[in-house]
Amino acid sequence: MSEAFAVAARRVRRREYRLAGLLAGLVALVGLGLLSLAFGSRPIPLGVVLDTINAYNPSDDRHLIVWSLRVPRTAVALLAGLALGASGAVMQAITRNPMAEPGLLGVNAGAAIAVVLGASFFGVATMAGRVWFGIAGAGLAGVVVLLLGRAHETGTNPVRLVLAGAGLSVMLGAVTGIVLINAPTAVLDDFRTWAAGSVAGRGFDVAGVLAIVTTIGLVLAFSIAANLNAISLGSDLGKVLGLHTGRTLFLACLAVMLLAGGSTAAAGPVGFVGLVAPHLARAVTGPDYRWILPYSALFAALLLLGADLLGRMIASPDEIATGIVTALVGGPFFIFIVRRFRLRPL
């Protein structure tokens, strides 16, 4: 009896530690967000930033910079980070692949070709409008990779999925290049900035669309968190445990389509954030996806916000694109993952 009480007490303490970790992460995220509002080509004191939030004065140019430029930029970086972290965790669960993330499985390439086609052939000029094209392209690319990897028939195979994602990315990249060569110069200039992975110049229209898409995607992802624990063990074992595998996979793919597609369309193909964050979360929480998902989203938001802030600070008054900073950080981590897991399922 005493042993049962001890086990229950350990579970309660573990849960309290995890909740405390989430709270600490949220506090860090708020602090990083304030720094993002304060630093840039023109540093603005934190007091002025707080005054802008509490009592916006459009006649003050510092308030104008914070509210019109840095608030939507910070919001997009935060939302894109949440989306990339959660989508990466879901993808690693359903594919049982430790290297799964939107960039490696063709989702970014699908979003890219959709954004280019929308701008070139359908005259979509606003970033908010391109988000919807990015979502559709990301979703279609993800479905094609799963079909090519034959995950629906023989179970997920890490090597097959990575090869399918790489092949699809190369093919879609070639098509994107062909379209861009024949596209107007304005489309090429916009794509060049977007392809580097940047949240600069994003307005409230983009933040609003991304907020809606991310919220729906996170709700879907969290609704199947418990099922992901079973499906990450394999589809056969999931069926033995009474899991409705098809429905879970459908909801998971829909969540990834919204999260990865929306974030990629809004912030560009930011690599490695969706790969790194789930592994950091798993190191803290263990294998339970009910905790991996919120921690992964939180860590990814911190990484993306930090990368955006670092890119502004190290090259001030110019800046380095967020996607370049995340690639410099995530590249070595990717090599570590390859060497550690050797493409074995999770």
Check which CATH number belongs to the domain holding 240 and give it: 1.10.3470.10
Q: Are 107 and 138 in contact (CB under 8 A)?
A: yes
Asked if residue 296 is part of any domain, the answer here is yes
In a domain, 268, yes or no: yes
The answer as to whether 25 is a domain residue is: no
Total number of domains constituting the chain: 1
- Residue 307 belongs to a domain: yes
Position 120 scores a pLDDT of 82
Rg (CA), the chain: 21
CA distance 215 to 276: 22
Q: CA-CA distance, 106 to 104, in Å (whole number)?
A: 6
Domain boundaries, position 195:
75-341
pTM attached to this predicted model: 0.88
Tell me, what's the pLDDT at 337?
A: 65
> Does some domain include residue 4?
no
Tokens of 169: 């990315």
- In a domain, residue 69? The reply is no
pLDDT score, position 343: 47
Structure token digits, residue 303: 């990484």
The reply to whether 21 falls in a domain is: no
Q: For residue 337, is it within any domain?
A: yes
Contact (Cβ atoms closer than 8 angstroms) between residue 249 and residue 94: yes
In the block, tokens 């086990």 appear at 7
Distance CA 265, CA 128 (A): 9
Give the pLDDT confidence of 206-237 residue by residue, as tens digits: 899 899 999 999 999 999 998 888 877 665 55
Residues in the chain with pLDDT < 70?
A: 1-9, 125, 149-159, 233-244, 337-346
pLDDT at residue 341, rounded to an integer:
57
